[in-house]
Chains A and B, each alone.
Chain A
């Protein structure tokens, strides 16, 4: 029977590049890596982001099908993940509270078709900034929380319910108290929507008080951040903390700061869904390593 590690090697060929992230212990382990990690149970999760359900526009003429295809592709994975996480912008924004709830309900119904039922959500600014997260909470509960899974502590941060992209002092205090309950060497993963660091402030790719959050995270050596918002894969380090952004499921955006406006990249009929996708993340608990495999919306 195929095991998880063999499967990752296969998907690395068929699904996109595999990146090694987090700390650099893999390099230190060298040729002993396989034997070093074979004595514990690893696991993986799937990250999807920036679905923008309800979007209508030329950047994705297949907007009503993209999420459904992604759900089918995740359901078709040879081995199902332990859990699935959506890192915000589940819906495209609307000024109409009724329409917002309609979109959230439709999104919820579509993702209810996922085989894996352990599904986690955080909001994006399109879901939550116009009503401080009120509609999101009706459908998905708290906008920030934490949970533990097989030796990893996961923290879900909300940096969008404030329209000014503040995490806010109350949530920052909660974050500090939550992490204080962990060992200093605990394996910690943070999910958030916006980048916690100033990626491109002129494109609003930042969190106003993100530096305060990073200060709280810094004392923990084994911590990694996964986020969305920028509609593309991107990797960045703030000190020892790795930050990995995910692709979108609606339209890709230009690379950070590469042009004047952050306008969506045009849809190419010759290569539909190009630049869109989701990712698997394999948690190597013992070494605090996270292997990332990128997948297209539809696997050929």
Chain B
């Protein structure tokens, strides 16, 4: 297999059978994120994007750049859960929720502005975002937590 240099713009897309409002809540409220976001309590307000670890550690604290419920959320990203990653400059995460036919929504997550943050890019790429997004889908569609050992 070819070795991969983690991409400076990463795009993830998936269909979720849920309303835009339910997806918005699951993304922005800590009581939902703790069940699929690597155990993080993430809170998005119109001003800040904050994440807390299991013991209240600061895992993220970045500005909210756009806040348009339940369609579009853009916030800064700094991986404060690791001292090494926390030193890298802030990158950007964009969530877009587009309703489709049949009760589905297309959720797009774009993590970009990673040019100056190669370690962060490597850390979130592949299984990083994928575990979060497939966990989010499972939670919304079945109410279950995906693989609690790894959540």
Task: Note whether A and B form a binding pair.
Answer: no
Q: Residues on A close to B: CB < 8 A?
A: none
